[in-house]
Amino acid sequence: MAIITISREMGTGAYAIAKELAKKLKYTLIDRVKIEELAPQYGLTSEILERVDEKPPSYRTAEDRLQAAYLSTMELILLESARKGNVILYGRGAQDLVEGLGNVLKVRFVAPFEHRVEKFAEREWIDPELARDLIRKSDHQLGGFIHFYFNRDWNNPMSYDIMFNTTRVSPSSMVEAVIAAVKDSRLKEDEERSMELLEDLILAKRVQVEVLRSGSVRILQCGITAEDGVVTITGHVQSEAEIEEALRLARSVPGVSDAESEMDVISFKPVKD
């Protein structure tokens, strides 16, 4: 069945809806809890996740690139979970991670700001002013993450297949609507080709992790694509030697048959790592 991605504003009640949806569909919900459960298999800790989860990365220093590698590793968890099928990918720009796949149902939950403040304050037993501040900051952080990292407007309705205003529709109705949509035959028709594309996305992400983790490749604007085992790396480095090292790292990743460079060498005084 189709992969479901969920985008949400804080205070909409989206998480409870996602849990009920996963229960009814017998899907696995890939949320922060599940990511933390899987993280040790990928060499990540809860502390690392706290630093990088839904936070825009930078690539200027060695430490920046390491943090970006951690974020890419977390994304690898999402992609490899999607490969198993029957999953709901909750937040974290998941719909952008699986861009191009035709068997993805992209769902978004929104609600008026003051309604979200009221519901969040009631749920968490906190002062409304604190709830208002937390939700305002969350909106800026999550929207900023999507804009910076994926170059997409978080609020653009055309980015989603279904949008729900949770003040207007009951949770049960929203769950039933998504269940009906996810069974659409057009999503099923694209499943085989989508799984092939997903394998390419996973391979590219594995290479990205290796390149970003390397202390010997000071790459900026790192972009990596894969097709039938051939990986192409784009970005800016400081020497031809770094290009060769990036290609060597890529070819060392299982599943890569060859690696090609579209990297440019730029001359500038680097920030002290």
pLDDT tens digit string along 217-254? 998 888 999 999 999 999 999 999 999 999 999 999 99
Among 8-17, 129-138, 263-272, the least confident range: 263-272
Q: What is the DSSP letter of 42?
A: G
Residue 135, judged by CB atoms within 10 A of its CB (0-12, 13-18, 19+), counts as buried
Hey, what CATH topology would domain 193-265 get?
Histidine-containing Protein; Chain: A; (3.30.1340)
The answer, yes or no, to whether residue 98 has pLDDT greater than 90, is: yes
Strands 87-90 and 28-30: parallel
Residue type (1 letter), 72 = S
What's the mean pLDDT when you consider all of the chain? 93
Q: To the nearest 10°, the Cα dihedral for 22, 23, 26, 27?
A: 20
The answer, yes or no, to whether residue 272 has pLDDT greater than 90, is: no
The answer, yes or no, to whether residue 128 has pLDDT greater than 70, is: yes
Q: What is the DSSP letter of 41?
A: G
- The whole-number average pLDDT for the span 84-101 is 95
The answer, yes or no, to whether residue 271 has pLDDT greater than 60, is: no
Tell me what pLDDT residue 105 has: 97
What is the C-alpha end-to-end distance of the chain, expressed in Å?
Answer: 46
Q: Do domains 3-191 and 193-265 have the same CATH topology?
A: no
The pTM assigned to this predicted structure is 0.92
Give residue limits of the domains in the chain: 3-191, 193-265
Tell me what pLDDT residue 50 has: 94
Residue 270 confidence class, pLDDT cut points 50, 70, 90: low
Residue 56 confidence class, pLDDT cut points 50, 70, 90: confident
Question: Homologous superfamily of 3-191 in CATH?
Answer: P-loop containing nucleotide triphosphate hydrolases (3.40.50.300)
Quick one: which H or E segment has residue 67? Answer: helix 62-83
The Cα-based distances of 238 to 64, 216, 220 in angstroms read: 16, 10, 9
Pairwise pLDDT comparison (60 vs 35), residue with the higher score: 35
Tell me what pLDDT residue 220 has: 83
Q: Give the position of tokens 């999607």.
A: 82
